[in-house]
Amino acid sequence: MNARDERKRVAITTLGCKVNQYESSALAGKFEKRGYEVVPFTAEADVYVINTCTVTGRSDYQSRQLIRRAARRNPRAVIAVTGCYAQVAPQELEAMPEVTLIAGSAEKMTLPERVDSLTGGRREVRVGDIGQVKEMDFHAAPSFPGHTRAFLKIQDGCDASCSYCIVPRARGRSRSLPVKDVLEEIRFLGRSGYREVVLTGIHLGLYGKDLAPSGHLLDILKAVEEEAPVSRLRLSSLEPAEVTDDLIAFAAGSRVLCPHFHVPLQSGDDGILAAMKRTYDRAFFRVLIDQIRAEVPRAAIGVDVMTGFPGEDENAFRNTFDLIEALPLTYLHVFPYSKRPGTPAAAMGGQVGEKTKKERAEMLRHLGMRKKEAFARSFVGSETAVLIEGKEGKGTKSMQGLTDNYLTVLIDRDDPALANRIVPVVIAGEKDGRLIGRVARD
């Protein structure tokens, strides 16, 4: 048996947001440093890690499914569960005989050490009070296999009090990575060959408010603009009030910041927004989106929208649908409301039936696809820079890439040498919201 065969194998799977994805990449790096071989979750492994989400009841169900699947694949394996579901409901996971180790949000990055310390079939639960965590515990993700874009978590936690959301209980208070550390990581990722870095967080717009002295996203953006350690910088989701005049103006003139805004709407009805404890109304949101479109005409503008929140009658839903239909948006992320125990919304009257939620969600998804296709068609005949990510899929001859304004582009050319390059592409057509083009020049 050679040394490679003697290495323990770990498989990691991730549910939920880009922050979870980033943390799973960091975990993989820590396991590798301890001598583990990281293998796909579909493979037989000695350790299975399920990095969970708990935003919806379905995500909890999916986590439990993955736990059972791992146990069937190797009944002798250590099954470690971490993430938001582990933080909020460790007792549910402890009741599952398949689970060996449960680690909360603050304990997530200690998993490799804790796994190695388990002996004699011992089980362990390590879930602390995430609300008492004051500083961000940063762990770099050394690589992102299969991706030409890198993610960088610069903020964690949330100070908002939306009535439907369990995330503050799962992630704690907002805390930020100091500006100098953010810039150091972006430089490292640039030196490692990544052309684009996506800045992400649980509540990204709160970045820097907890630091002393306080910081701001614009501090990072301006430094990266001046230094250009990477070709592209992209922001993940920002709350409406956090998309300021200064940020929009900066995006309009930037050569590095991608013209891409993802701004949660959740509802287009003022009564529902108030019940959700959101901090804006439909008029504010309309003005904001129109301002972005006017100042950054090429910008992709995506929104999150929820259907079936308690009290959402036909009129409230119609207000949401009509507002979205009227706005110059690019795409929608649609979520049926999911009752989360312990949140104020879970105890509200006027709960909407599952059938109605799904029907409304489907209507919005169709509307979102129409908007995505219309936005994509507006670039047919133009030339645009595309970051080539790789093959479109197994068995295909097309390459796939991404524009700075978040459009997928397919190129009828089988040339692996194009991967991780930003090349000019002439857009010839559009199909199902994706662009079709050819490389203008190498």
Per-residue pLDDT of 284-311, as tens digits, reads 999 999 999 999 999 999 999 999 999 9
Q: What's the rounded mean pLDDT across residues 168-181?
A: 95
Which of 16, 14, 15, 45 minimizes the C-alpha distance to 27? 14
Topology of the domain comprising 149-377? pyruvate-formate lyase- activating enzyme (3.80.30)
Q: Is 253 exposed, middle or buried (0-12, 13-18, 19+ CB in 10 A)?
A: exposed
State the Cα torsion 348-350-353-357 to the nearest 10°: -80
- Span 3-128: which CATH code? 3.40.50.12160
Residues of the chain with CATH 2.40.50: 383-439
Mean predicted lDDT score pLDDT of the chain:
94
Tens digits of per-residue pLDDT, 326-350? 999 999 999 999 999 999 999 999 9
420: amino acid identity, one letter: N
- Give residue 2's pLDDT band: very low, low, confident or very high (50, 70, 90): very low
| Amino acid 397: pLDDT | 82
Do β-strands 196-201 and 232-235 pair in parallel, antiparallel, or remain unpaired?
parallel
Predicted confidence band of residue 147 (pLDDT cuts 50, 70, 90): confident
What is the pLDDT, as a whole number, of residue 1?
35
* 213-226 pLDDT per residue, tens: 999 999 999 999 99
Total number of residues shown for the chain: 442
Count of Cβ atoms closer than 10 Å to residue 299 Cβ = 23
Segment 182-206 shows an average pLDDT of 96
What CATH number has the domain spanning 383-439? 2.40.50
pLDDT score, position 378? 97
